[in-house]
């Protein structure tokens, strides 16, 4: 099968397409044909060994000291089951599913093997591209807004980085739950963020957040350019600061009205998001879809920091 390999850390040019053995599913696994997979900021960070402050050494210990321990990146995908292991009874070949692979990664390839317990059936009303696109940003936005902020109707929310993968989902989820949403993005993306449900848009190129007088019940930073101090200054007395991107120091010190850390990958969250997409409560925003051979271009777009929503790669040419 064809796969995108990262044999060493570096720029997008380190990616190469190679023929590798097709994985064999274990007894509790399924073999999947990948139709669409997201190329996320997490993929780009691992490829470049560019981790938030303080995470450099711990991340290298996890992902590989001198080169990626798992050369096939990609953790959010949608596809079709090719075969099932002997202990799998809930799925059959031909089922359309999506999932997040976690530390195993491996989705930037034509096929992957994955434990059946991680799979979620893709609703017929949701395309493979939308299913793959909503997972990374959607689960992060859902976790922080629902669990860490207990967001409810009438609350005010500031989403910093409102046009990205996490931000586009956060704006829509907050609107869906009846919150008043302010999105921070570039002026070029203001119309998109308003269409997704923001009541107000702040163009960060014109207005510094430090100069914003308004205070918010929830501040969600998806960019990583708010510190605990600068973020807290934007809060109401009972407000919550959510750092979806934070350095090691801030992650350790996050307590009280500050939450930080990675969002869990839970089947129930994926199912919830897919139902919202199927019911048109969430629009999955895609910047662009690439063929597997052009995955370096996808990484370059993610590295630019200017993508709108999600970037996808489609190992199955018929789905591109």
97-120, pLDDT tens digit by residue?
999 999 999 999 999 999 999 999
Paired strand residues for 109: 3
Residue 247 has pLDDT above 80, yes or no: yes
- Reading the block at residue 204, the tokens are 């960060």
pLDDT of residue 148: 96
List domains and CATH numbers for the chain: 2-122+285-319 (3.90.180.10), 136-260 (3.40.50.720)
Mean pLDDT over each residue of the chain, to the nearest integer: 95
Query: Mean pLDDT, to the nearest integer, of 89-100?
Result: 97
Evaluate if residue 320 carries a pLDDT over 80. Answer: no
- For position 61, what pLDDT does the model report? 86
Please indicate, yes or no, whether the overall pTM of this predicted structure exceeds 0.75: yes
Mean pLDDT value across residues 120-131: 98
For 196-243, write each residue's pLDDT tens digit.
999 999 999 999 998 899 999 999 999 999 999 999 999 999 999 999
CA separation (Å) from 272 to 35, 107, 277, 311?
21, 22, 9, 22
Query: Which of the four pLDDT bands, split at 50, 70 and 90, describes residue 66?
Result: confident
pLDDT band with cut points at 50, 70 and 90 for residue 317: low
Separation between Cα atoms, residue 269 and residue 160, nearest integer Å: 22
> Is 155:126 a contact under the CB 8 Å cutoff?
no
> Quick one: average pLDDT of 294-302?
97
């Amino acid at each position: 099968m064809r796969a995108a390999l990262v044999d060493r850390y570096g720029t997008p040019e380190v990616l190469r397409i190679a023929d590798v053995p097709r994985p064999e599913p274990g007894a509790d696994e399924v073999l999947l044909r990948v139709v669409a997979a997201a190329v996320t900021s997490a993929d780009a960070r691992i490829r470049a060994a560019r981790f938030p402050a303080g995470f450099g050494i711990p991340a290298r210990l996890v992902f590989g000291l001198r080169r990626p321990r798992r050369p096939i990146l990609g953790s959010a995908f949608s596809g079709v089951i090719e075969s099932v292991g002997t202990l799998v009874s809930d799925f059959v070949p031909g089922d359309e599913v999506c999932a997040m692979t976690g530390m195993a990664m491996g989705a930037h390839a034509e096929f992957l093997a994955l434990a059946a317990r991680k799979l979620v059936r893709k609703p017929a009303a949701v395309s493979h591209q939308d299913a793959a696109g909503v997972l990374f940003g959607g689960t992060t936005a859902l976790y922080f807004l629902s669990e860490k902020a207990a967001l409810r109707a009438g609350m005010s929310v500031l989403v910093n980085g409102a046009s990205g993968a996490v931000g586009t989902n956060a704006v829509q989820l907050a609107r869906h739950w009846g919150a008043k949403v302010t999105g921070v993005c570039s002026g070029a993306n203001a119309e998109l963020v308003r269409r997704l449900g923001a009541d107000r848009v702040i163009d960060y190129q014109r207005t510094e957040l430090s100069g914003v007088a308004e205070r918010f019940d929830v501040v969600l930073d998806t960019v990583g350019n708010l510190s605990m101090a600068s973020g807290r200054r934007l809060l109401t007395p009972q407000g919550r600061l959510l750092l979806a991107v934070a350095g090691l120091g801030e992650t350790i010190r996050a307590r009280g009205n500050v939450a930080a850390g990675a969002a869990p990958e839970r089947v129930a969250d994926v199912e919830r998001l897919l139902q919202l997409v199927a019911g048109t409560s969430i629009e999955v925003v895609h910047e662009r879809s690439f063929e597997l051979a052009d995955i370096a271009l996808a990484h370059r777009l993610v590295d630019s920091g200017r993508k709108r929503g999600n970037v996808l790669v489609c190992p199955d040419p018929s789905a591109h």
